């Protein structure tokens, strides 16, 4: 799948900057990052943002990525937006829960810039 309008939800601004730099190196896709999943969910429901795909972190303080996933799948208007979990968590149990709750894919965050570019070029138009 090739996406042109990317939303990243991650409370770590440094991770968002790293993601954005890698994305810009491989694509001209539109990119928005949000650090608050509750705010992101509200904007999605009210169609203030309309991404083709969401890259979602799991470990966030206000609302976890799994909680966000559960909530978005309850919303008829946005439940079909593909969600790619993009997290440092390596626990198999978490990966299985994410799939169960509707995540389309699970990617472990790489620390290497070239690896991230390679991963993103697989998804981005």
SS3 at position 117:
helix
Euclidean distance between CA atoms 61 and 50, whole angstroms: 24
Nearest to 116 by CA among 9, 26, 54: 26
Structural domains of the chain ordered from first start: 5-123 (3.40.50.2300)
* pLDDT averaged over every residue in the chain: 94
pLDDT in tens, 32-57: 999 999 999 999 999 999 999 999 99
For position 90, what pLDDT does the model report? 79
Strands (E), 1-125: 5-9, 30-34, 53-56, 83-87, 105-108
Euclidean distance between CA atoms 48 and 39, whole angstroms: 11
């Amino acid at each position: 799948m090739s996406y042109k309008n990317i939303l990243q939800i991650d409370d770590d601004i440094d991770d968002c900057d790293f993601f954005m730099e890698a994305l810009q190196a491989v694509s001209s896709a539109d990119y928005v990052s949000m650090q608050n999943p509750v705010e992101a969910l509200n904007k999605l429901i009210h169609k203030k943002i309309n991404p083709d795909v969401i890259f979602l972190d799991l470990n966030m303080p206000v609302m976890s990525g799994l909680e966000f996933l559960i909530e978005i799948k309850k919303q008829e208007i946005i439940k079909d937006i593909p969600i790619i979990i993009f997290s440092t968590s390596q626990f198999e149990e978490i990966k299985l829960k994410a799939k169960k709750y509707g995540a389309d894919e699970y990617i472990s965050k790489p620390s290497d810039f070239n690896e991230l570019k390679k991963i993103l070029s697989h998804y981005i138009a």
